[in-house]
Structure 1
Amino acid sequence: MNNATNNPSNTTTNIVHQAEFTDTHALNIPTLSILQEDGTLFAGAASPSLDRATALKIYDSMVFIRILDERMLAAQRQGRVSFYMQCLGEEATTVASAAALDPKDMIMAQYREQGALHYRGFSLTQFMNQLLSNDQDLGKGRQMPVHYGSHDLHFMTISSPLGTQIPQASGYAYGQKLRGLPNISLCYFGEGAASEGDFHAGLNMAAVLRAPVIFFCRNNGYAISTPANEQFVGDGIACRGVGYGMQAIRVDGADALAVYEATRLARKLALEQQKPVLIEAIAYRLGAHSSSDDPSGYRSREEEARFRQQDPIARYKCWLKRKGWLDEAADQIACDALRQEVLDALKVAEKRAKPHIDTLIGDVYAEPTAALKAQLEQLKSHIRQYPDAYPLSAGRFE
């Protein structure tokens, strides 16, 4: 066998004299699973080194997001917010992975990773301000609900077009490398986004440039209504990382301990070897794709019920109780209080004014151009002509 670095085609040469074909299943990529449903470890599994404070913070963030999702979907049904997306069943994938990062590692999310943002310190008030697009929203009301972002928390603002963050993460991580920073980037996306061209461009770029980035694929079984077996034929997504010359690992996404350990090791590898890593987390999407989706049209209630038995929060909670780190009665009181806090925060946020219309043309150039100013005046003139169609809070227009 010749070394690939001595071959212009960048391939290893293993000469055979009979035709042989290889498919992705020959890789036989295993799935890392540490925690059983009852909170005990699988035989031969080792628990990651998690101190009590970190372990409870992971649990608190997962529970927070579960309750926030529950209340805000109800608020959308009531017409109080225009749109919402839950991460029901996928809480461990984003919270436990964020826990394994350095706070200054850049996170580039898709749109179902609010758990990672909360773990980093995004407050209930900040969530509500974004969802209601009020004058305290960090995005100044320019984004759809659940399109969060925080410069202070190193969380890149989410954009609606699918997969755009993947090549961006490769470029950002390469910049971290050039600056000699002791940090990596982590990019979340679903298996549906892995069917976009940006996925292939981003992974190849990162592999060739040896960018310290973790590509974290949440394989939840469906790209909106399209099941995975109608998206691709290969063995999941992890094998694609191997195809692009990077190391890959598949993990049980409903197992917070496995997700944490896989991400911790992937970060160590990406930083020390300055190269990308792909993580594929298998976690069934228990909720609808979004508040605009009805999953009953493409999957059965029996299927959903079967996967509800793999609830990541319930499994992790069992482990915490076995460790003696969680009291059931105190936890119930805290959950009840949080539900009320969410409702109270919603009432406050929805009463706040919308951003002033003049902020609409800011942040494009250092100073708004004459063309932007003219367009803003045209918009104001239009609103004056049809005031009933554009109800604005007092003082937010002129």
Structure 2
Amino acid sequence: MNRIIGERDLSETPFSAEDARDVYRDVVRARAFDERALALQRRGWMSSWPPYKGQEGSQVGAAAALADEDWLFPTYRSNAMQVARDVPISDILLFRRGRPEYASDHDVPNFPQAVPIATQIPHAAGAGMAMNYERDVKGDGEGDAADGAALCYFGDGATSEGDFHEGLNFAGVFDAPVVFFCENNEWAISLPRHKQTAADSIAQKAEAYGFEGVQVDGNDPLAVRETVSEALESARDGDPVLVESLTYRQGAHTTSDDPSEYEETRNELPDWRTADPLERYEAYLREQGVLDDEFVAEVEAEADAELDEAVERAESVEEADPHDVFDRVYADLPPRLRDQRDWLDSFLKGHDVQEVDH
């Protein structure tokens, strides 16, 4: 079953004015973070950045649906979800500067970001199966709604990987408490969706695995939160769900990409699909009478201050040891990596990068 939930009066939703403002605050934080991170990358502060501008409503709405005990399986692009889940921004920045992913001491139940496409999907299915096993061992019964669930984030390109099939198939067979959250941006790097799947939607793929698939307006954060909340409740009861969030990223796939080739597709999509989620959500909340200039200015100032502090904290961490890329992979380095480490040692002893024959 596919459904698109559009904007409604706030009184017709399960959310209070305070809920709506909290979501707005996180959308603003996420937007400010993306813009600051992009600027930092452009001046060489970190090597790369995967922009998500235009997808903040989708990611923040999904993250807001998570209970404290639920596990998030993120990717390299789901940084807005992690910000909304109160992962320290300095941790995300340090990861982009070659440090361990979770540098600070916090207990947010997030798996590490998956950079290879779709590898986190079987991980989420396995974690869900483990949750069921733990409930059985405790004698609480399967599908106890009081226990946690997993939310697995991925893009539409991931649905063309074998891991997508394997993960959803296991979840369906074993009733794993997992919500598979696909952000459909219409592009898998430079490949448009219609060239990677003949299916009318991503959501309908769930039918092959024996569970429900739904679509949601990804630029409406409250609609996403409501849809994912319902999906998580279903998953806790033993019925996984595939949620397809229809959105559109405004920028490049990464900072090494040229987004100009996407413009033709953007012009073919409806306005609700390509609208700026922050501008749209702010206008909606003003119409509902729960947002004013003073609150907006306060939230923006708080976001800027948080980012200043995060950058300062990240810059205060001592430089990483280049040998870490070797020392933390194998207990005993294989010959090829030993040769690479020897080359690095030689380089670090004084070779100029222009004079080194790579």
The yes-or-no answer on 1:31 pairing with 2:3 is yes
Alpha carbons 1:251, 1:279 under 8 Å: kept: yes
Count residues with an aligned counterpart: 342
User: Tell me, what secondary structure is at the counterpart of 1:267?
Assistant: helix
Which residue does 2:33 correspond to in 1? 68
Match 1:388 to one of 343, 350, 357? 350
Which residue does 1:153 correspond to in 2? 108
Cα offset for 1:131? Answer: 2.6
Q: 2:310 and 2:351 mapped to 1: Cα distance?
A: 28
Which residue does 2:221 correspond to in 1? 256
Q: 1:151 and 1:284 mapped to 2: Cα distance?
A: 32
Once the two structures are superposed, the pairs formed by residues 1-398 of structure 1 within 5 Å of their partners are 29-35=1-7, 40=9, 47-134=12-99, 137-138=100-101, 152-180=107-135, 182-272=147-237, 274-300=238-264, 302=267, 310-336=275-301, 338-339=303-304, 341-343=306-308, 345-356=310-321, 369=331, 379=341, 382-383=344-345, 386-388=348-350
Cα offset for 1:275? Answer: 2.4
Alpha carbons 1:190, 1:217 under 8 Å: kept: yes
Q: 1:164 and 1:153 mapped to 2: Cα distance?
A: 21
Question: Who wins on radius of gyration, i.e. which is larger?
Answer: 1
Cα offset for 1:240? Answer: 0.6
Larger mean CA deviation between 207-216 and 302-311 belongs to: 302-311
Q: Relative to 1, partners in 2 of residues 1:224 and 1:192: Cα closer, same or farther, differing over 3 Å?
A: same
Q: Relative to 1, partners in 2 of residues 1:47 and 1:100: Cα closer, same or farther, differing over 3 Å?
A: farther
Cα offset for 1:76? Answer: 1.4
Alpha carbons 2:92, 2:101 under 8 Å: kept: no
Q: Which runs of 5 or more structure 1 residues have no equivalent in the other structure?
A: 1-28, 141-148, 392-398
Q: Relative to 1, partners in 2 of residues 1:382 and 1:315: Cα closer, same or farther, differing over 3 Å?
A: closer
Describe the superposition over 1:49-77 as per-residue Cα deviations: whole angstroms up to 9, x where unpaired. Answer: 22344322211111111111112112212
Q: 2:66 and 2:234 mapped to 1: Cα distance?
A: 12
User: Tell me, what secondary structure is at the counterpart of 1:251?
Assistant: strand
TM-score, normalised on structure 1? 0.76
Describe the superposition over 1:293-312 as per-residue Cα deviations: whole angstroms up to 9, x where unpaired. Answer: 11113433756995686222
- Read off the aligned partner of 1:335 and give its amino acid letter: E
Q: 1:388 and 1:363 mapped to 2: Cα distance?
A: 25
Q: Relative to 1, partners in 2 of residues 1:214 and 1:328: Cα closer, same or farther, differing over 3 Å?
A: same
User: Tell me, what secondary structure is at the counterpart of 2:307?
Assistant: helix
User: Tell me, what secondary structure is at the counterpart of 2:31?
Assistant: helix
Q: Which runs of 5 or more structure 2 residues have no equivalent in the other structure?
A: 136-143, 354-358
Cα offset for 1:150? Answer: 8.8
User: Tell me, what secondary structure is at the counterpart of 1:179?
Assistant: helix
Q: 1:378 and 1:78 mapped to 2: Cα distance?
A: 29
Percent of residue pairs bearing the same amino acid type:
33
